[in-house]
């Protein structure tokens, strides 16, 4: 509460797409243990108490099954009278959870090092972001004893739940790519021991002689940290203290001294410039990093994290045995000796080393990925597509071509299909998603080209699910992958919050400009080419999205993408923009070739042409600004765009205008507020529909009318009904009543009988 006695503003709430949640949540969705929650102000903070779905004004109980409902009922109730949904854990469930609060920067996605190590231990299970964006939750299965413990680390909090009553929020905003709930018994048991012994060590500690605490850089964005590395300390900051904080930041990220030195040495005018000029940069980094490491918490993957409790010591002959300690109310393991209070270190004689603990054989074994057996139940889809039989949900690809064949414009054409859910020249879009564009070349053109694309291909949306940065990390630099993932996660959080759509498609334009080859000729090295593609694949797997690099053909177009053939070999999809270039620079016979596609046909070519469009606003001197968009053609020689749009194939002018307005409004509302209609498909495509009344309201607002209030209403209703009926007759839209809501959706173009896809 502020000084005037008013409570703090209601925080922003993050949530995923409840109509299409991650596959790992299937076991939870199958149970009738769901409630809703909403933010309630409690004295000095916002709380998230559970409420009944059938009576949203009545608090639900974590011990009363009659106050719980199904997943579907909870989702519907939350949309009407709540802020989110929660799953109620019970002692009888085979589930467990780890709740980690205040460890994630909601803007940059940066996670506290100790929490990140905890997530690394749970990579085999499902992890999601909390509603606030600052917390994380690990969900898994468990068979161990009852456990309900909590620990406080400075401003962070860790809670462990197994076989206990607890309502826990679920957002569906997944981190990682796990498709299942893995067993987390061993992790829970080790976490209890580690947290008891090292609670105080997790609190932030200042290195000796520094006025800046470890972790101060967590308050700065990645761009700010990089700027300090390049340009030095801000004007209002102490240079020495800032240097220590920068070193501490990279120590917390797990960097070695050598890697930190290599980074700082690249920037003579940066934060390490003084020590570099004096020839003592390596020594200062080692000295500063050493202070952090001595004060830092133990690694979650270090020996004391992987050890198990020592067996009780055997009493000597003739000596009285120690009285047995009464167990805690929910001890997960047998304690080796009486434990001190939380946060205190166990007493150890000064002359005696800490006793060696037996290594846990289960932990000592290498951590293997999950093994699958043929015939076992598997809820995952056999193949997940973003664009059916062309582009998988998670993977890497190349969009290559000769100079002047409009590769960037073709990438934007792919983006338009992914954002709106409309077919990509006949290929059905299976996963409507947001797009991130990283232009290492031509960044100043992205705004102009994107606005033209949205006007011409996306129904002139007011806001499209499209994000871009005008700077691209160097792929082959030490921190390139880390920065790429952080930028993608920031874009994903932004898209989820505004549109409820995940980030599904990322373009890097171009691979050559962003790779950062160390020496001339490195582009032709197979190992270097593989490393470039490995960076893109790791980024794709970390964000569960498709990453496509835009690249050039070599001088010999028969050899395909420039550089080593290892790039195309490592790609899941290779698309090629082809054409016949004349000496004047004009390119004729433009076509898109499917050069490689894992899981789909290859060798096809699709002719296209480029159409000039003018921006509504002129430039500073009043001259018109123009750019291009892709139009698909039916034959290679066709000089114009594709066939007539069925939405405008009406003789009556008023009907044609109404149809085009309906199309524009429907596309905009689907992208903004559309929901997946579970169990309903159009062909092989999962339907994304929108409440008809939302479309009607926007259609009315964009339809001019004269006369009395009633006359205006009747005129607008007549045009809307006529447009809806004509669209249904022409099989342009589908409609169905589900519950009390009538949903409508765009029907995709159906492939012809001659198509192989």
Residues in CB range of 741: below 8 A, 6 or more apart? 691, 692
pLDDT given for residue 686 in this prediction: 61
Q: Is residue 356 scored above 50 in pLDDT?
A: no
Confidence of residue 642 (pLDDT cuts 50, 70, 90): very low
Residue 142 covered by a domain = yes
Q: Is residue 334 scored above 70 in pLDDT?
A: no
Q: Which CATH number fits the domain that encloses residue 196?
A: 3.30.2250
Q: Is residue 295 scored above 70 in pLDDT?
A: no
Confidence of residue 317 (pLDDT cuts 50, 70, 90): very low
Q: Which CATH number fits the domain that encloses residue 451?
A: 3.40.50.300
Confidence of residue 678 (pLDDT cuts 50, 70, 90): low
Write the pLDDT tens digit of every residue in 490-503.
999 999 888 888 99
pLDDT given for residue 748 in this prediction: 65
- Looking at the fold, whether 192 and 119 belong to one and the same domain comes out as yes
Mean pLDDT check: name the lowest of 379-383, 410-414, 597-601.
379-383
Lookup: tokens for 663: 């199309």
- Looking at the fold, whether 554 and 535 belong to one and the same domain comes out as yes
Write the pLDDT tens digit of every residue in 686-732.
677 888 999 999 899 888 888 888 888 889 999 999 899 888 888 88
pLDDT given for residue 667 in this prediction: 82
pLDDT given for residue 485 in this prediction: 94
Write the pLDDT tens digit of every residue in 558-616.
778 888 778 888 899 999 999 887 777 788 889 999 999 988 888 889 999 999 999 88
Residue 476 covered by a domain = yes
Q: Is residue 508 scored above 50 in pLDDT?
A: yes
Residue recorded with tokens 């020495």: 240
Residue 358 covered by a domain = no
Contact indicator for 635, 477 with CB cutoff of 8 Å: no
HEC profile of 639-654: CCCCCCCHHHCCCCHH
Exposed, middle or buried: residue 528 (CB in 10 Å: 0-12, 13-18, 19+)? buried
Residue 661 covered by a domain = yes
Cis geometry, peptide bond prior to residue 207 (ω within 30 degrees of 0): no
- Looking at the fold, whether 605 and 659 belong to one and the same domain comes out as no
Q: Which CATH number fits the domain that encloses residue 730?
A: 1.10.10
Mean pLDDT check: name the lowest of 147-151, 154-158, 402-406.
154-158
- Looking at the fold, whether 176 and 249 belong to one and the same domain comes out as no
Confidence of residue 292 (pLDDT cuts 50, 70, 90): low
What value does the mean pLDDT of the chain take? 79
- Looking at the fold, whether 536 and 391 belong to one and the same domain comes out as yes
Confidence of residue 111 (pLDDT cuts 50, 70, 90): confident
The stretch 324-344 carries a mean pLDDT of 40
Contact indicator for 539, 506 with CB cutoff of 8 Å: yes
Write the pLDDT tens digit of every residue in 735-745.
888 878 888 88
Residue 554 covered by a domain = yes
Write the pLDDT tens digit of every residue in 5-33.
456 677 888 888 888 899 999 999 999 99
Contact indicator for 565, 588 with CB cutoff of 8 Å: no
pLDDT given for residue 680 in this prediction: 62
**Pick from 261, 295, 329: which residue ends a domain?**
295
**Pick from 627, 643, 659: which residue ends a domain?**
643
Residues in CB range of 427: below 8 A, 6 or more apart? 387, 388, 389, 390, 417, 757
Mean pLDDT check: name the lowest of 276-290, 646-660, 704-718.
646-660
pTM for this predicted structure = 0.45
- Looking at the fold, whether 558 and 673 belong to one and the same domain comes out as no
For residue 483, the enclosing domain spans: 385-643
Q: In whole angstroms, what is the distance from residue 698 CA to residue 716 CA?
A: 11
Highest mean pLDDT among 207-221, 334-348, 436-450: 436-450
- Looking at the fold, whether 597 and 677 belong to one and the same domain comes out as no
Q: If you count them, how many residues does the chain have?
A: 757
Mean pLDDT check: name the lowest of 67-81, 216-230, 234-248.
216-230
Q: Is residue 175 scored above 60 in pLDDT?
A: yes
Lookup: tokens for 680: 């309903």
Q: In whole angstroms, what is the distance from residue 233 CA to residue 231 CA?
A: 7
Q: In whole angstroms, what is the distance from residue 90 CA to residue 163 CA?
A: 6
Residue recorded with tokens 């290929």: 427
Q: In whole angstroms, what is the distance from residue 24 CA to residue 140 CA?
A: 9
- Looking at the fold, whether 496 and 395 belong to one and the same domain comes out as yes
Measured between alpha carbons, how far is residue 63 from residues 59, 117, 167, 170 in Å?
Answer: 12, 33, 10, 18
- Looking at the fold, whether 635 and 502 belong to one and the same domain comes out as yes
**Pick from 643, 672, 702: which residue ends a domain?**
643
Residue 333 covered by a domain = no
Highest mean pLDDT among 92-96, 364-368, 650-654: 92-96
Number of domains making up the chain = 4
- Looking at the fold, whether 461 and 508 belong to one and the same domain comes out as yes
pLDDT given for residue 198 in this prediction: 62
Measured between alpha carbons, how far is residue 625 from residues 411, 445, 461, 616 in Å?
Answer: 21, 11, 20, 8
Residue 40 covered by a domain = no
Residue 269 covered by a domain = yes
- Looking at the fold, whether 480 and 611 belong to one and the same domain comes out as yes
pLDDT given for residue 420 in this prediction: 86
- Looking at the fold, whether 491 and 607 belong to one and the same domain comes out as yes
């Amino acid at each position: 509460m502020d000084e005037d006695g008013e409570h703090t503003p209601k925080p922003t709430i993050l949530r995923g797409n409840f109509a299409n949640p991650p596959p790992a949540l299937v076991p939870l969705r199958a149970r009738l243990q769901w409630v809703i929650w909403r933010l309630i102000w409690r004295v000095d903070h916002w709380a998230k108490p559970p409420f009944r779905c059938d009576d949203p004004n009545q608090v639900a109980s974590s011990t009363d099954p009659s106050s719980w409902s199904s997943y579907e009922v909870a989702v519907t109730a939350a949309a009407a009278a709540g802020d989110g949904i929660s799953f109620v854990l019970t002692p009888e469930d085979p589930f467990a959870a780890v709740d980690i609060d205040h460890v994630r920067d909601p803007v940059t996605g940066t996670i506290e090092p100790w929490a990140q190590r905890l997530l690394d231990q749970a990579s085999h299970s499902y992890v999601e972001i909390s509603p606030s964006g600052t917390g994380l939750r690990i969900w898994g299965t468990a068979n161990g004893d009852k456990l309900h413990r909590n620990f406080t680390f400075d401003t962070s909090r860790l809670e462990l739940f197994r076989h206990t009553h607890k309502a826990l929020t679920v957002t569906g905003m997944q981190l990682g790519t796990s498709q299942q709930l893995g067993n987390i018994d061993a992790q829970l048991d080790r976490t209890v021991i580690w947290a008891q012994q090292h609670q105080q060590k997790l609190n932030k500690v200042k290195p000796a002689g520094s006025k800046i605490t470890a972790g101060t850089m967590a308050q700065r964005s990645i761009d700010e940290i990089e700027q300090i590395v390049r340009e030095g300390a801000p004007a209002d900051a102490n240079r020495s203290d800032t240097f220590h904080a920068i070193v501490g930041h990279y120590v917390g990220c797990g960097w070695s001294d050598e890697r930190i030195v290599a980074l700082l040495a690249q920037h003579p005018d940066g934060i390490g410039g003084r020590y570099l000029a004096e020839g003592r940069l390596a020594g200062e980094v080692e000295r500063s990093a050493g202070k952090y490491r001595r004060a830092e918490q133990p690694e979650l993957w270090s020996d004391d994290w992987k050890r198990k409790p020592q067996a009780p010591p055997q009493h000597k002959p003739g000596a009285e045995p120690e009285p047995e300690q009464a167990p805690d109310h929910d001890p997960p393991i047998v304690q080796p000796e009486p434990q001190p209070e939380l946060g205190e270190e166990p007493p150890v004689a000064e002359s005696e080393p800490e006793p060696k603990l037996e290594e846990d054989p289960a932990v000592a074994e290498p951590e293997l990925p999950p093994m699958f057996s043929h015939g076992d139940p598997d809820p995952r889809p056999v193949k997940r597509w973003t664009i059916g039989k062309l582009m998988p949900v998670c993977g890497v690809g190349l969009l290559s071509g000769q100079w002047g064949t409009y590769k960037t414009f073709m990438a934007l054409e792919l983006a338009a299909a992914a954002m709106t859910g409309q077919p990509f020249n006949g290929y059905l879009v299976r996963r409507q998603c947001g797009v991130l564009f990283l232009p290492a070349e031509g960044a100043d053109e992205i705004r102009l080209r994107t606005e033209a694309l949205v006007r011409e291909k996306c129904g002139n949306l007011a806001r499209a699910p499209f994000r871009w940065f005008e700077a691209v990390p160097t792929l082959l630099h030490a921190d390139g992958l880390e920065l790429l993932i952080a930028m993608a996660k920031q874009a994903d959080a932004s898209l989820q919050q505004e549109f409820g759509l995940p980030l599904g498609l990322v373009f890097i334009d171009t691979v050559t400009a962003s790779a950062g080859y160390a020496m001339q000729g490195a582009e032709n090295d197979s190992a270097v080419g593989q490393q470039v593609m490995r960076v893109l694949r790791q980024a794709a797997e970390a964000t569960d999205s498709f990453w496509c690099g835009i690249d050039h053909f070599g001088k010999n177009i028969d050899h395909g993408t420039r550089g080593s053939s290892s790039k195309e070999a490592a790609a899941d999809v290779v698309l090629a923009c082809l054409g016949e270039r004349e000496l004047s620079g004009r390119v004729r016979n433009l076509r898109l070739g499917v050069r490689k596609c894992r899981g789909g046909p290859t060798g096809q070519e699709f002719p296209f042409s480029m159409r000039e469009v003018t921006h509504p606003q002129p430039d500073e001197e009043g001259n018109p600004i123009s750019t291009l968009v892709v139009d698909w053609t039916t034959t290679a020689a066709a000089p114009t765009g594709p066939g007539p749009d069925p939405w405008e194939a009406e003789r009556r002018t008023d009907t044609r205008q109404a149809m085009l307005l309906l199309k524009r409004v429907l596309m905009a509302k689907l992208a903004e507020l559309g929901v997946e209609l579970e169990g309903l498909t159009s062909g092989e495509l999962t339907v994304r529909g929108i409440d008809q009344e939302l479309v009607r309201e926007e259609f009315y607002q964009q339809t001019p009318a004269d006369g009395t209030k009633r006359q205006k209403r009747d005129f607008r209703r007549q045009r809307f009904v006529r447009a809806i009926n004509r669209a249904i007759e022409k099989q342009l839209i589908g409609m169905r009543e589900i519950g009390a809501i009538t949903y409508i959706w765009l029907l995709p173009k159906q492939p012809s009988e001659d198509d192989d896809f």
